[in-house]
Amino acid sequence: MKKFGFLLFLFVIMAALPNGADASSYSAKIYLDGNPLKISSDVKVENISGTVMVPIRVVSENLGYSVKWTKATQKVTVLKDGTTIEMVIGNKTAKINGKSATMTMAPILRGGTTIVPIRFLSENMGHDVKWDNRLKIVHLITRTTGNDGLAAINGISFSDNRLMVAVSGYVNPKVTKLTNPDRIVIDVANAKFSDKFSSSNNLGTGMNGTLTVTGNPDVKQIRYSLFSNSPSTVRIVMDLNRAKNYTLSGTQNGSSVFIVDLNATSTSPAPPPGAGSKKLVVIDAGHGAHDPGAVSSSNRREKDFALALALKVGKLLERENNIDVVLTRSNDTFLELRDRAKIANNLKADAFVSIHANSGPSAASGTETYYERVSSVALANTIHKHMIKATGLKDRGVKYGNFHVIRETTMPAVLLEVGFISNKNDEAKLFNSTFQNRVAESIVVGLKEYLKL
């Protein structure tokens, strides 16, 4: 696991109500969508007065939850996909997105580990729960996104020869390599496009669209469509310039992002980003597609600046032998904020940087950097000091900001407001290639210093 500052606990959830009120414990056996989770043999599931309790540290990496522990108030905060659950040790009243709810059993702090009622937690985070009392197994079943029982495709992005697909619900993609012409076909059965994806990507009545790819020697374009209605199947096709091997990852344990990686060779699969001793950095270009972000008086768009700078940062990081880089988008596409965070969380990145341009009164000018968690302050300070030298703009400082992508990510994460697109002087610099190169270099220097490389 990557270290994330003072976040003391990793996470898990499961639940059940086996019969009987006797307090007892057993070795943990937990299944997610039919697959056993890898849990150490010393982890115990406790049955306290008929409520199954599980250490909250057990499976956060398996389920993609983020957990925060506030020692002063003994509060556990669990976050996933826009849902926030707050629980306090010894208190049966929890809060779900600010609204009070009652648990059958209050969380307990036992030997430095918090144990929680897993039915309450998991059912409010999108999992159904079944308890096998005979075998003492907790079964977690990922709920699909709607009454139709279908998983949903929320976003598609392509960068660094990796196709990343954000989903809600359980999926099992089938990937096929075809020739004449060369292409890779990904079929996602029992799935549909989410309403947000459909509206954001201009899907027509034929429910199909194209993701433009430029300057890639391997991939011409990426097409996607609702290929079949029986069963409902989303098909994604990567049209290739030449035959390529691939590896598929992120489909186990209910992951919310799966990746088709074209960086494999003919003799070995592609190592996952950040494998070995390499550090992994995720660079996020803000906005995209139908979401232009802020727009200047001369109709220049924040999304274009963010992408241009992100691509430059990505290219520089690709030259670093000790760093792997993943871009949440490398073209004019759109991903939900939650899916940007999911990509970084699922990859277990070491650092996350979201790139933006600011907007305000025409006189407002300068560069500022935002963090949301204490564990992100060092990253924010380090990048900011280098970026200020590169921009030459007013130093507006390092600040706390409650922005989704730096709040929901589980690694040190910052949001950069490089300059004000609403200020004519700042705008001219933001869209100057030399300026962008200088800022990109400063971000990379800051990352390398922070990562001690």
Task: Report the catalytic residues.
Answer: 417
What is the four-CA torsion angle of 279, 280, 285, 290, rounded to 10 degrees?
180
217, two tokens: 């020697």
| CB contact at 8 A, 248 and 184 | no
| CB contact at 8 A, 264 and 257 | no
Q: What angle do CA 202, 301, 166 make, to 5 degrees?
A: 45
Q: What angle do CA 68, 7, 119 make, to 5 degrees?
A: 40
User: What are the phi and psi torsion angles at 448 (to 5°)?
Assistant: -65, -40
Q: Please write down the long-range contacts of 273-276, taking CB distance under 8 Å and 24 or more positions apart.
A: 273/162, 273/324, 273/325, 273/326, 273/347, 273/349, 274/324, 274/347, 274/348, 274/349, 274/350, 275/324
DSSP state of 260: E
State the DSSP string of 101-125: EE-SS--EEETTEEEEEHHHHHHTT
294, two tokens: 């802020």
Half-sphere exposure of 140 (CA within 13 A, CB side): 29
Say how far residue 357 (Cα) sits from the centre of its chain. Answer: 22
Who's near 65: CB < 8 A, 6+ residues apart? 11, 12, 13, 78, 79, 80, 125
For residue 408, the SS3 value is coil
Say how far residue 261 (Cα) sits from the centre of its chain. Answer: 17
- DSSP run (H or E) holding 184: strand 183-189
- DSSP run (H or E) holding 197: helix 195-200
| CB contact at 8 A, 260 and 183 | no
| Surface-to-core class of residue 364, CB atoms within 10 Å of its CB (0-12 exposed, 13-18 middle, 19+ buried) | middle
**CA pair distance 343, 311, nearest whole angstrom:** 17
